[in-house]
């Protein structure tokens, strides 16, 4: 079994609320690349949270790298999480740490040697254009710069699965393309990638596969063109308004 | 390589919760140090009382009208006592000594010739086959009517019981202090975890083991515990020396001289690593337990 992620009839509800996700079934191959789309509130972040073990499903079966998540002992979870890089929608950078230390975090908790950490982190921060901001605290960085720190932290440990929640939402087109290029490179090295986004142009341009969430259900589309109806466009319709705001 | 003792991930330096831990620790270690010293002093006292119970018998002879006749009777009594099996020595206390013993109670009256002070014989007996007080009384009674033999048994036993239970109280106070210290560390650690929840979550997401996080809390707590217990011991030492000085001036006749031996000081110093260890272990288990409830 080569599946990096496998969901079977997964359902999720928060508290007594309605099911945000219903009967979600899909599998991601290693080396795959998907965009995750859906209107605001459709459950994109929730689906990603299930994949990076921040949330347990209310029903259904989830396996990561061939392991049933519900029966994986707690002691084995860090090993799973180290194979998963996450770019959070709200970044979740640690405010008391420099950009450098934030990016170094995944290596430090894995007890990588400090000399090696320095080399890798500096290289990556230069690559994402933050050469001059390594010592800066997140609060002194712009939204786009913070986002790049978050992305650097997600990819620093060469994850097998990269989950990004709107990673290009706060950057200009030039940097967005640069970041997409970074994801492409990572993907070529074998990392499976799922990017939740409202950026219609980016999805269309890439021609990548699409996971589409609507009404709590998930559909896998080979590419945007496959979308019958005008449904796909309508997925973004609500968001154009949001972006303008 | 950068020195990362408590780890840079958790920003403890900004915690107000951990600021008061050293002072609570200092207070508890201070109390524990007093209890430890009390335990040792009481132990000395108990041993001295124990020795007294087994070794000494006091004999009172009523004073007659004629001092010379009294002295003859005492000499006779001493001869009889020394011949008795189980008696190691028998000595009459001289008049001056008796007056000294009674002066604290009687004041100047002790020196007055108006009050007929009894004569006192101090008998030391063999631990192994000590004669009973009744046997001594039976021996002397025919020659010296009104003789009183007291082996201090009843009230020394009572005193010994009191001292022994005080020893237990000292031990219990030390143990309770340990529990209170642990409870404080649990509270402070939980508060710290709440404060650093975001950091802990992110550390989890990037693959930190629970023990990696727990270690940082544990090291932090033990450093604070170390600091606090050193303060506690440093404050306890002069306080104890002052107490010993004050108690020494009281001059209890029965109890041995109160002194704090090397063993006592070593035990008090031992509170420092013990407190640090309590903080370390408690913080570590507290964090592991709480993290176990997170996803
Ligand atoms: N912690 C939570 N507790 C309760 N309800 C939640 C929680 N998180 C999300 N929800 C609800 O679940 C639904 C899906 O939210 P989610 O954040 O997954 O949407 P999304 O697709 O990521 O939206 P957006 O594009 O705006 O980021 C929403 O209705 C939201 O209100
Ligand atoms: Mg979202």
Let me know whether B106 and B72 are in one domain: yes
pLDDT class of B289 with cuts at 50, 70, 90? very high
Lowest average pLDDT, out of A135-139, B4-8, B285-289, goes to B4-8
Could you give the CA distance from residue B286 to residue A177 in angstroms, rounded to a whole number? 46
Question: What does the block give as tokens for A134?
Answer: 């390594």
Chain A residues whose C-beta is within 8 A of a chain B C-beta are: 52-56, 74-75, 78-79, 81-82, 86, 92, 94, 96-97, 101, 105-106, 108-110, 114-115, 153, 157
Residue B251: is its pLDDT beyond 90?
A: no
Å from CA of A47 to ligand 1 middle: 10
A168-193: string of b/e by CB count within 10 Å (b at 16+)? bbbbeeebbebbbebbeebbeeebbb
The pLDDT, as a whole number, for residue A229 is 47
Is residue B197 a part of any domain in this protein? yes
Question: What does the block give as tokens for A99?
Answer: 């950009």
Is residue A218 a part of any domain in this protein? yes
The pLDDT, as a whole number, for residue B16 is 76
Domain enclosing residue B84, as ranges: 63-146
Q: Between B76 and A20, whose confidence is greater? A: A20
Domain enclosing residue A227, as ranges: 1-79+203-245
| Residue-wise pLDDT tens digits, A159-201 | 999 999 987 776 777 878 878 888 999 999 999 999 999 888 8
Structural domain count, chain B = 2
A142 CB-near residues (< 8 Å, 6+ apart): none
Domain C-terminal end among B146, B166, B190? B146
Could you give the CA distance from residue B227 to residue B239 in angstroms, rounded to a whole number? 19
Lowest average pLDDT, out of A134-143, B144-153, B257-266, goes to B144-153
Is residue A103 a part of any domain in this protein? no
A interface mutation test: which of B207, B289, B290 has the most A CBs within 10 A?
B207
Is residue B10 a part of any domain in this protein? no
Question: What does the block give as tokens for A96?
Answer: 């008391």
Is residue B76 a part of any domain in this protein? yes
Is residue A124 a part of any domain in this protein? no
Closest alpha carbon within chain B to A74: B292
Residue of A52, A78, A96 with shortest CB distance to B208: A78
| Residue-wise pLDDT tens digits, B90-139 | 888 777 777 777 777 777 776 776 667 778 888 888 767 777 778 888 88
Let me know whether B165 and B35 are in one domain: yes
The pTM of this model reads 0.80
Residue A242: is its pLDDT beyond 60?
A: no
Nearest-ligand number for the alpha carbon of A239: 1
Inter-residue contact B263 to B41 (CB < 8 Å):
no
**Chain CA centroid to CA B161, Å:** 14
The pLDDT, as a whole number, for residue B252 is 54
> Contacts of residue B203 in chain A, CB cutoff 8 Å?
105, 109
Could you give the CA distance from residue A110 to residue A132 in angstroms, rounded to a whole number? 26
Could you give the CA distance from residue A234 to residue A242 in angstroms, rounded to a whole number? 13
Domain C-terminal end among B146, B172, B187? B146
CATH number reported for the structural domain that contains residue A22 in this entry: 3.40.50.300
Structural domain count, chain A = 1
> Contacts of residue B14 in chain A, CB cutoff 8 Å?
96
* % chain A with pLDDT above 70: 90
| Residue-wise pLDDT tens digits, A48-76 | 999 999 999 999 999 999 999 999 999 99
Is residue B7 a part of any domain in this protein? no
Is residue B140 a part of any domain in this protein? yes
Could you give the CA distance from residue B79 to residue B73 in angstroms, rounded to a whole number? 10
Å from CA of A43 to ligand 1 middle: 5
Residue B295: is its pLDDT beyond 50?
A: yes
Question: What does the block give as tokens for A34?
Answer: 């998907």
> Contacts of residue A109 in chain B, CB cutoff 8 Å?
9, 203, 206-209, 212
Let me know whether B208 and B266 are in one domain: yes
Å from CA of A161 to ligand 1 middle: 22
What is the residue-wise DSSP string for chain B? ----SS-SSS-GGG-STTTSHHHHHHHHHHHHHHHHHHHHHHHHHHHHHHHHHHHEEEEEE---S-HHHHHHHHHHHHHHHHHSTTEEEEEEPPHHHHHHHHHHHHGGGGG-TTS-PPEEEEEEE-STTPPPHHHHHHHHTTTSTT-EEE--HHHHHHHHHHHHHHHHHHHHHHHHHHHHHHHHHHHHHHHHHHHTHHHHHHHHHTT--HHHHHHHHHHHHHHHHHHHHHHHHHHHHHHHHHHHHHHHHH--SSSPPP---HHHHHHHHHHHHHHHHHHHHHHHHHHHHHHHT--
Let me know whether B133 and B254 are in one domain: no
Could you give the CA distance from residue B257 to residue A155 in angstroms, rounded to a whole number? 73
Is residue B67 a part of any domain in this protein? yes
Is residue B214 a part of any domain in this protein? yes
Say yes or no: ipTM exceeds 0.95: no
Is residue B130 a part of any domain in this protein? yes
Let me know whether B138 and B170 are in one domain: no
Closest alpha carbon within chain B to A157: B206
Q: Which of B194, B206, B185 has the alpha carbon at shortest distance from B291?
A: B194
The pLDDT, as a whole number, for residue A239 is 44
Lowest average pLDDT, out of A21-30, A145-154, B156-165, B280-289, goes to B156-165
The pLDDT, as a whole number, for residue B76 is 86
């Amino acid at each position: 079994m080569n599946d990096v992620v496998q969901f079977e009839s997964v359902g999720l509800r928060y508290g007594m609320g309605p099911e945000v996700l219903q009967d979600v079934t899909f599998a991601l191959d290693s080396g795959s690349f998907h965009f995750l789309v859906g209107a605001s509130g459709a459950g994109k972040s929730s689906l990603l949270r299930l994949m990076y073990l921040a949330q347990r499903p209310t029903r259904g079966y989830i396996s990561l790298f061939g392991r049933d998540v519900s029966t994986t002992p707690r002691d084995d979870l860090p090993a799973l999480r180290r194979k998963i890089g996450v770019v959070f929608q709200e970044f979740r950078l640690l405010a008391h740490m420099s950009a450098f230390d934030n990016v170094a975090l995944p290596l430090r908790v894995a007890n990588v040697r400090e000399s090696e950490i320095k080399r890798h982190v500096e290289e990556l921060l230069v690559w994402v254009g933050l050469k001059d901001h390594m010592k800066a605290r997140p609060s002194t960085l712009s939204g786009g710069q913070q986002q790049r720190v978050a992305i650097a932290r997600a990819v620093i440990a060469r994850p097998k699965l990269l989950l990004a929640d709107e990673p290009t939402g706060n950057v200009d087109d030039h940097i967005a393309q640069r970041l997409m290029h970074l994801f492409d490179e990572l993907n070529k090295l074998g990392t499976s990638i799922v990017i939740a986004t409202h950026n219609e142009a980016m999805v269309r341009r890439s021609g990548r596969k699409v996971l589409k969430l609507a009404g709590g259900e998930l559909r896998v589309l080979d590419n945007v063109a496959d979308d019958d109806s005008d449904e796909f466009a309508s997925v973004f319709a609500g968001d154009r308004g949001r972006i303008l705001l | 390589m950068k020195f990362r003792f408590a780890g840079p991930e958790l920003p403890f330096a900004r915690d107000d919760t951990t600021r008061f831990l050293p002072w609570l620790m200092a207070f508890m270690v201070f109390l524990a140090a007093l209890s430890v010293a009390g335990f040792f002093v009481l132990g000395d006292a108990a041993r001295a009382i124990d020795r007294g119970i087994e070794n000494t018998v006091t004999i009172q002879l009523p004073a007659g009208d004629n001092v010379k006749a009294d002295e003859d009777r005492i000499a006779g009594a001493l001869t009889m006592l020394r011949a008795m099996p189980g008696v190691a020595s028998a000595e009459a206390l001289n008049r001056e000594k008796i007056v000294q013993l009674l002066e604290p109670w009687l004041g100047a009256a002790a020196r007055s010739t108006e009050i007929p002070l009894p004569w006192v014989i101090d008998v030391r007996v063999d631990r192994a086959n000590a004669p009973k007080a009744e046997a001594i009384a039976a021996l002397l009674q025919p020659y010296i009517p009104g003789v009183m033999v007291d082996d201090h048994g009843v009230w020394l036993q009572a005193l010994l019981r009191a001292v022994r239970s005080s020893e237990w109280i000292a031990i219990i106070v030390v143990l309770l202090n340990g529990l209170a210290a642990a409870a404080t560390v649990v509270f402070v650690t939980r508060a710290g975890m709440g404060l650093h929840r975001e950091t802990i979550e992110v550390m989890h997401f990037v693959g930190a083991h629970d023990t990696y996080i727990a270690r940082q809390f544990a090291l932090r707590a033990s450093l604070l515990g170390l600091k606090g217990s050193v303060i506690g011991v440093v404050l306890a030492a002069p306080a104890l020396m002052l107490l010993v000085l004050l108690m020494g001036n009281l001059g209890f006749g029965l109890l041995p001289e109160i002194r704090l031996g090397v063993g006592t000081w070593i035990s008090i110093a031992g509170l420092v690593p013990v407190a640090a260890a309590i903080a370390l272990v408690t913080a570590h288990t507290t964090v592991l337990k709480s993290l176990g409830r997170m996803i």
